[in-house]
A and B are shown apart, each in its own frame.
Chain A
Amino acid sequence: MSNERKTKKKLIEELEGLRGKITELEGAMSEEEPMLRREQDLIELNRMMISASTFGIIVYKASGQCVIANETAAKSIGATREQVLQQNFYHIESWEKSGLLEAAKGALKDGSDKKIEIHTISTFGKDIWLGCRFTPFVYLDEQYLMLIFENITDRIIVSQELQRTRDELKEKNEKLEKEISEGRKREEIIRRQHQEILELSTPVMKICEGVVAAPLIGTLDSQRTQQFMDVFLNAIVDNNAPVALVDITGVPTIDTQTGQHLIEAISAARLLGTEVILTGVRPAIAQTLVHLGIDLSDLRTCSSLSAGLSMALRTLNREVISRDDIQGDL
């Protein structure tokens, strides 16, 4: 009995000792646990950062095998993450074509950063512009290559659009400038011809000693009147002509303004001391003048140029006579 009790007591003691040890161990464990959890948290955070990044991030081993790829990278090239993880960049056709392979090799060889902008059709059939950056690094004695890239298709499209618009504008601008210069040339020609017509339309000629004639053609506006007056009065002075004929046979219609301009020119000639005779007053013109009430009463007028010429000669005390008459007198 006493032996049994002894054994029991011993067992209880042993059990308590073990319990103490367990608590001890548990205490030690609870001290270690937060540290472990922190490490796990950090790893998780890194993973989150990589997957949440708006940049495509892919890490390759030096052998070309892909080890890390985030969702953005896979989406950008139109693939799934698993597909990307299976790739080896040495065997991607599009890399070789776009020059990406060369840049990757260069980065691995030099151990330095390489930046490149490429246009490619990805293995998964996406037509994209990518701005890529290769960063080689060494981890646990093994070389890795990190590729960070951004889809710049939108930016490139916009800038291409801009360039095209700029080119179009430039072209249009050149065309417009050409048109303007042509327009200017045409304007110049019109102006010169207008000037020529002005000069041509007012001939003033001496038809016999002391008589000048000015046949007017077309309508008289203020500009033409100015021109006509200038030519007319200077011809009178140059020819020292006491009589001048203004012929309006070629003037289709006369209005008050034209009449006023005529009177102006004739009064100016009078101031010079020249007798002005208006000739070529056709019936229609005579009617218009009377209806409009244009007063030409202090002006000598004739129906035709020949009548005007004989009136001019009479004024100068001269006469045109037939030779027969002279012979008859003899």
Chain B
Amino acid sequence: MGAENISVIKMGDTLMVTVPADPDDETVSALQERILAAMEKHEAKGLILDLSTVETMDSFFARIVAETAQMVQLMGGRTVIAGMRASVAITTTQLGLTLGNAMTALDVDWALLMLVRKPAGGIGDE
């Protein structure tokens, strides 16, 4: 698996990235590069990371996701992590991994709603 099968889709102000099912460290690093490059190119305001196909999450992957969210924020965008599986959520919590300040959504639908409806913050920040 390499960087070539990562697709970064631009939808208006938002970038959509579907993370492959079982990414290795190389792919994860390439993913970050591609996202940041696209952010710069399209001047996007939001990033949706779709994790619905991911079956396992290791500490490196979690760290890269958290760091990417931070970097996107620095570049003027907001990150929503969408569609994480219940089993992945359980193992991630039990390993003590966190995704930093990234917002989370049940699926891509909700993520889009969050970015469109409340450009200033997350669901609970009213």
Residues on A facing B (Cβ under 8 Å): 229-230, 233-234, 236-237, 240-242, 264-265, 267-275, 300, 314-315
Complex Cα–Cα for A274 and B94 (A): 18
A233 with B89: CB separation less than 8 A = yes
Give the contacting residue for A271; candidates B80, B89, B126; CB below 8 A: B89
B52-102 contacts to A, CB under 8 A, are 80-86, 88-90, 92-94, 98-99
Quick one: closest B residue to A269, CB to CB? B89
Pairs across A and B, CB under 8 Å, 30 listed? A229-B90, A229-B93, A230-B90, A233-B89, A234-B86, A236-B86, A236-B106, A237-B106, A240-B106, A240-B107, A242-B105, A242-B110, A264-B94, A268-B86, A270-B104, A271-B88, A271-B89, A271-B93, A271-B104, A272-B84, A272-B89, A273-B82, A273-B83, A273-B84, A273-B105, A273-B107, A273-B111, A274-B106, A300-B124, A314-B126
- CB contacts (< 8 Å) of A236 on chain B: these are 86, 106
Contacts of A268 in B (CB 8 A): 86, 89-90, 92-93
A226, closest chain B residue (CB): B90
Other CB < 8 Å A-B pairs besides A268-B89, A272-B86, 18 of them?
A229-B93, A233-B86, A233-B90, A236-B106, A237-B106, A242-B105, A242-B123, A265-B93, A268-B92, A271-B84, A271-B88, A272-B84, A273-B81, A273-B82, A273-B83, A273-B84, A273-B107, A315-B126
Main SS class of interface, B: mixed
Residues A273 and B110 in contact, CB atoms below 8 Å apart:
yes
Hey, which chain A residues are within 8 Å of B107, CB to CB? Answer: 240, 273
Residues of B contacting A230 with CB < 8 Å?
86, 90
Contact A241 B106 (CB under 8 A): yes
B8 smallest CB distance to A (angstroms): 21
Interface residues of B (CB under 8 A from A): 80-86, 88-90, 92-94, 98-99, 103-107, 110-111, 123-124, 126
Q: Is the CB–CB distance between A267 and B124 below 8 Å?
A: no
9 closest residue pairs by CB, A with B = A233-B86, A273-B104, A273-B105, A268-B93, A271-B89, A268-B89, A273-B106, A267-B93, A234-B86
With CB as the reference atom, state the residue of chain B lying closest to A264. Answer: B93
- Taken together as a complex, chains A and B put the C-alpha atoms of A234 and B86 apart, in Å, by 6
Contact A271 B110 (CB under 8 A): no
B106 / chain A contacts, CB cutoff of 8 Å: 236-237, 240-242, 272-274
Residues of chain B with a CB closer than 8 A to A274's CB = 104, 106
CA distance A241 to B85 in the complex (A): 14
Chain A positions within 8 Å of B105 at CB level: 242, 273
A272 lies within 8 A of B123 (CB): no
B100 CB, nearest partner CB in chain A, Å: 12
A319 to chain B, nearest CB (A): 13
A271 to B81, CA, bound (A): 8
The complex places the Cα of A236 from the Cα of B83 at a distance, in Å, of 11
A237, A273, A314 pick with most chain B CB within 10 angstroms: A273
CA distance A242 to B109 in the complex (A): 11
- Chain B minimum-CB-distance residue to A274: B106
The reply to whether A275 and B124 form a contact with Cβ atoms under 8 Å apart is yes
Which residues from chain A contact B84 at a C-beta distance below 8 Å?
271-273
State the Cβ distance, B26 to closest chain A Cβ, in Å. Answer: 24
Bound-state CA distance A314–B125 (Å) is: 11
Q: Which residues of B contact A314 (CB under 8 A)?
A: 126
> Of A230, A237, A270, A272, which is in contact with the most chain B CB atoms at under 10 Å from its CB?
A272
Q: Which residues of A contact B126 (CB under 8 A)?
A: 314-315
